[in-house]
Amino acid sequence: MIKPHGSDRLQPRYVEDAARRSALLSEAAKLPSLLLNSAAAANAVMLGAGYFNPLQGYMNLADSLKVAESLVTTAGLFWPVPIVNLTKEAGIKPGRIALRDPNVDGHPVLAIMDVQAVETVSEEQLKFMAEKIFGNLDPKHPGVATFLGLGNSLLSGAIEVLSYSYFQDEFPETFRTAVQIREEIAQRGWNKVVAFQTRNPMHRAHEELCRMAKERLGADGIVIHMLLGKLKDGDIPAPVRDACIRKMVELYFEPNTVMITGYGFDMLYAGPREAVLHAVFRQNMGTDYLIVGRDHAGVGDYYGPFDAQTIFDTSVPAGSLQIEIFRADNTAYSKKLGHVVMMREAADHVAEDFIQLSGTKVRQMLGQGIAPPPEFSRPEVAKVLMDYYQSLGG
């Protein structure tokens, strides 16, 4: 199986030993505490689950600026996005503190942190990092707005994670750590594995893209890996996406060819930089390939349609990652050929030869109880989505 990024074996920060976890929780009750924001909490969950291997905790200012500028830490580790604990809270001092979960009632302890440094980040430094990560400083960009609103105090240091927040309880059949995915890949006997990232339900085009990648790469299986954390307003909630994907896989994929999994992270909407981060943690979970499609991890029109592919040519030095990228174009149903194709591979087609619907049009149809054509969306998947949109009152 492919090695993790930056080490020979995974180094998840979750405390597996129950006795030690109990002792740390007892200690946490006596420690100063910090209520995290959702972004820092999501970073803790990803560190705990092994997805951010080999990081041991949150980055300091020097590493954050270096990663933002050149995708490498001061120690030379390739890394695409700063992993930070930014806060508005004042008075935090170096030493051990309890990190509390903002996303669970009662704000239980999520992790214990050895705070090595507390640094003030200037507005200029915050904007510098945001511009590098997101490619713009537009306050309407959801990632930019979130990042610039986190605070100016940067806490760095190693953490020990004591909980996976709400993800394990709310998504017991779907949430999996990088360790668990590696174990299941081995149990299934898969030798070559492709990952598919999604924050949306999967329509026919996504389904066929997974099938194409598996066949063309000679892969044994596909890991559909869905984001389970916070999204922007208007995105479809994780339970609905989960139900759609499970129905599609149940009905339309051969047995033992697909794993349905999810991870506890908040969407960044960082386009190319987030695509590289996706590749890093898919390598950590043991997959050999990541499908990177048109406008991967994008939002609005902030990024070019294939920027998330070309960044692997322009900004990822050879040997930085072992995982490889399967580069996909838009996929759509061809009325000429009677099946889904990559549009760039259908040179004799014009726009009218494809069945394509905008997201706005699809949402309108679903809200009115009108199923999209079966060439666009499997009827059983459309039914799940119609029920959801109609529950919103259209």
Whether residue 13 lies inside any domain: the answer is: no
**Ranked by mean pLDDT, which of 68-82, 223-237, 323-337 comes out on top?**
68-82
DSSP 8-state symbol, 122: P
When pLDDT is averaged across residues 170-183 and rounded to a whole number, the result is: 96
- In angstroms, the CA 298 to CA 307 distance is 9
Residue 326 confidence (pLDDT) above 80: yes
**Which of the residues 96, 200, 327, 330 is marked catalytic?**
200
Per-residue pLDDT tens for 25-59?
Answer: 999 999 999 999 999 999 999 999 999 999 999 99
**Residue 81, pLDDT score:** 98
- Structural domain ending residue among the three candidates 137, 152, 168: 168
Domain of 194, CATH number, reads 3.40.50.620
pLDDT reading at 329 higher than 90: no
The per-residue pLDDT for range 156-171, each reduced to its tens digit, is 999 999 999 999 999 9
Higher pLDDT, 147 or 391: 147
Q: Are 37 and 102 in contact (CB under 8 A)?
A: yes
Range of the domain at 350: 173-391
Looking at the structure, tell me whether residues 223 and 324 fall in a common domain: yes
DSSP one-letter code for 188: H
35-38 long-range contacts (CB < 8 A, ≥24 apart) are 35/89, 35/100, 35/102, 35/107, 36/85, 36/87, 36/99, 36/100, 36/101, 36/102, 36/110, 37/86, 37/87, 37/102, 37/150, 37/151, 38/102, 38/103, 38/229, 38/230, 38/266
Active site residue 199: yes
**Number of other CB atoms surrounding residue 124 within 10 Å:** 8
Q: 148-157, 247-256, 294-303, 369-378: which has the minimum mean pLDDT?
A: 369-378
Q: Which of 182, 199, 204, 294 is catalytic?
A: 199
At residue 351, what are phi and psi to the nearest 5 degrees?
A: -55, -35
Across 208-212, 222-226, 275-279, least confident range: 208-212
**Same-domain check for residues 147 and 226:** no
Q: Which H or E element spans position 370?
A: none
pLDDT at 394 over 60: no
At residue 148, does pLDDT exceed 70? Answer: yes
pLDDT of residue 230: 85
One domain, residues 139 and 236: no
pLDDT score, position 101: 98
Last residue of a domain, one of 135, 168, 201: 168
Provide mean pLDDT across the span 85-89: 97
If asked whether residues 182 and 77 sit together in one domain, one would say: no
Whether residue 7 lies inside any domain: the answer is no
Verify cis geometry, omega within 30 degrees of 0, for the bond prior to 372: no
Give, in degrees to the nearest 5, the angle at Cα 323 between 52 and 253. Answer: 100
Domain presence at residue 2: no
Q: What's the confidence (pLDDT) of residue 369?
A: 85
Can you tell me the distance from the alpha carbon of 310 to that of 331, in angstroms, rounded to the nearest whole number?
19
> Same structural domain for residues 195 and 229?
yes
Q: How many Å from the N-terminal Cα to the C-terminal Cα in the chain?
A: 47
Task: List, in sequence order, the alpha helices (H) in the chain.
Answer: 18-28, 38-48, 61-70, 123-134, 142-148, 167-170, 178-188, 204-217, 238-252, 272-284, 307-314, 359-367, 379-391
Separation CA 248–CA 383 (nearest Å):
11
Last residue of a domain, one of 149, 168, 187: 168
Whole-number Å distance between alpha carbons of 208 and 342: 9
Average pLDDT over residues 87-101: 96
Assess whether 139 and 72 both reside in one domain: yes
pLDDT number for residue 320:
96
- According to DSSP, the residues that pair with 14 across neighbouring strands are 161
How many domains are contained in the chain? 2
